[in-house]
Amino acid sequence: MKIVVLDGYTENPGDLSWDELAKLGDLTVYDRTPVNDEAEIIRRIGDAEMVYTNKTPISRRVIDACPNMKFISMLATGYNVVDYAYAKEKGIPVTNVPTYGTASVSQFSIALLLEVCHHIGHHDASVHAGNWAKCIDWCYWDYPLIELDGKTIGIIGFGRIGQSEGRIAKAMGMKVLAYDLYPNDSGRAIADYVSLDELYAKADVISLHCNLTPENTCMINKDSIAKMKDGVILINNARGQLINEQDVAEALNSGKMGAAGLDVVYTEPIREDNPLLKAKNCIITPHISWAPKESRQRIMDCAVENAKAYIAGSPINVVNK
């Protein structure tokens, strides 16, 4: 059985092992595959039966051109790069990795918040540049520093990751508000569920952990920002398309929004003309919340289990049933 990994480098830049997957068949791993070159994608899949992808698209044309392909698995949770509906028509299960980054993503959201509050990276660079050694005072700071104890965080999307972040925030002394379409008892033990408008009005910090849907695309926009407290802090390491980047940039530059910590943007890699790159008090990291080795190992383990289940005739984590 031939197995092809189309873009394995991000999942495994060399610190993990493909050995367990290799035990299941004749494995070929490509670090990267040109995402806009369907002919090359088709060539690389060839007559493989099992195909793994992260961001390399598998379109209707690719599916038709690779009739031996019987199983597609994501090396991620999202699966929009695959024409999964057409795959279903062809009887091809598409599987994903549903839960692997709860700890790492919630930890990173708090890291973004703490960076906004303390500008640790900036002050470290300043010290290494010699500014402390030259300072006439025994200490200095270049930005207002923010204490979180007693402040309110509003978390939009209160599933596994949102609740994990809520527990950390609560441990730091924050009051936790949550908005979710499906409130549950585990969430109620951490936060007070409120309406979206109430969350906007009361939160000092707003953190996004919801799935991206047509209904919530660009939900953070000039209208919703107008409902927020002056100086509100925005944290987003969910999906970049949840925010209207021009509206957020304008809110940051005007001071209506105090700061933003973002690990995702609307188009990735980020475009050079993204307005957030020149916005005030905006920290942007390159979509790495999910990337600690421990988290990526869970992806690898689940990818192997998905393959084993398919071979056994009972696929798991199928997104196109």
Contact 65, 88 (CB under 8 A): no
Handedness of CA 203, 205, 211, 214 (dihedral sign): positive
> Which residue, chain included where needed, has tokens 């899949």?
45
Tokens linked to 142: 């270049």
Beta strand 232-236 pairing with 26-29 = unpaired
The answer for residues whose C-beta is within 8 angstroms of residue 317's C-beta and 6 or more apart is: 95, 96, 97, 98, 302, 306, 309
Distance CA 320, CA 314 (A): 14
226, with CB counted inside 10 A (0-12, 13-18, 19+), is: exposed
Q: What are the catalytic residues?
A: 239, 268, 287
